[in-house]
Structures are given as structure tokens and as C-alpha cells.
Amino acid sequence: MENKELQLNKQKNSNLSILLIVVNLILLLIFANIGDSLDDELSVNYCYLSFGTTVLLGFYAFSYHGKGYRIAKWLFAASLIISALLIGLLLYSAGLAKAFQH
């Protein structure tokens, strides 16, 4: 009986964590798209969004253990790869801009 109650509490906490992650991602999307952002500021804002998503998914993926939470680790790995590619692209474009500066 106690084990079933513990599993139920773990499931409630997991659902609450997912809800908080979604709310935080919505707030990050609002931050990334609000205001009069120039193109370079917009790309930096998307890097913030990517970094925030990676951190939130990482906290979730490594907080809950078990077979039911394996998908969170896969999503974290995909988010980590996307973040690394986005930051690499940003650094590459900054290097190109520096090379063509007269």
C-alpha cells in the first residue's frame, strides 16, 4: 500500500514538473519574440531559448529514474545536440563577420 502511494506521489510530481517546464518554455518563447529585436538579437534570444530548454530537460531527465522516464533522456540528448549546433552556428557567423570587417 505504501509503495503504491509512493508511486502515485512520484507520478504527481512528474506531471507537475512537466507542467512547470512547459510554462517556463512558453515564457522563454515570449521573451525571445517580444520587442523590437534586430536579427542578431533574435538569434541570441534563440540561443537563450535553446539553452533554457536544455537545462530544464536535463534537470527533469536526471531527477526521475525508471523506464517510464527514458524518453526524457532522449529528448535531453536531442536538445543538447541542437543547442551545440546552434551555438556553433552563431560562433561561425560571428567569425565570418569578423573576417569580412574592413
Reading the block at residue 85, the C-alpha cell is: 549546433
Do residues 63 and 17 lie in contact, with contact meaning Cβ atoms separated by under 8 Å? yes
Closest CA to 97 of 39, 34, 33, 32: 39
Q: Tell me the pLDDT tens digit for each residue of 13-45.
A: 888 988 999 999 999 888 888 876 676 677 788
Question: What's the rounded mean pLDDT across residues 37-62?
Answer: 83
Quick one: which H or E segment has residue 70?
A: helix 70-99
Handedness of CA 58, 60, 61, 65 (dihedral sign): positive
pTM of the model: 0.77
Name the residue range of residue 67's domain.
Answer: 2-99
How many distinct structural domains can be found in the chain?
A: 1
